[in-house]
Amino acid sequence: MTSVAPPICGGCTHLTGGILFDPKHPERPAVCDAFPNALGIPWDILLSKHDHREPYSGDHGILYDPKDKDAADYAKMIFDEG
């Protein structure tokens, strides 16, 4: 069985709406200041395949900004220690 770490997006100050990582609700993709369009946040970021503390094509220069220490620690655990 394959496991996927929950996206760091849930702890980001730029998250603006939609449903994170829920293929059952394609009409309400997770969106943020970096990816505000109808397609929402790219799957590479939602699947924790890309660390959005680093630039990603089309992100308008807006990177992950943790809303608190727990969010910052989670991103560090996923990408720096994982």
17 versus 1: the higher-pLDDT residue is 17
Domain, as residue range, for 35: 1-82
Q: Domain tally for the chain?
A: 1
The type of residue at 60 is: H
pLDDT in tens, 44-64: 999 899 999 999 999 999 999
| Spatial CA neighbour of 56 closest among 7, 4, 3 | 7
pLDDT category at 27 given cuts 50, 70, 90 is: confident
- Total residue count of the chain as it appears in this document: 82
* pLDDT of 20: 84
Q: Are the C-beta atoms of 53 and 64 separated by less than 8 Å?
A: yes
pTM of the full structure: 0.87
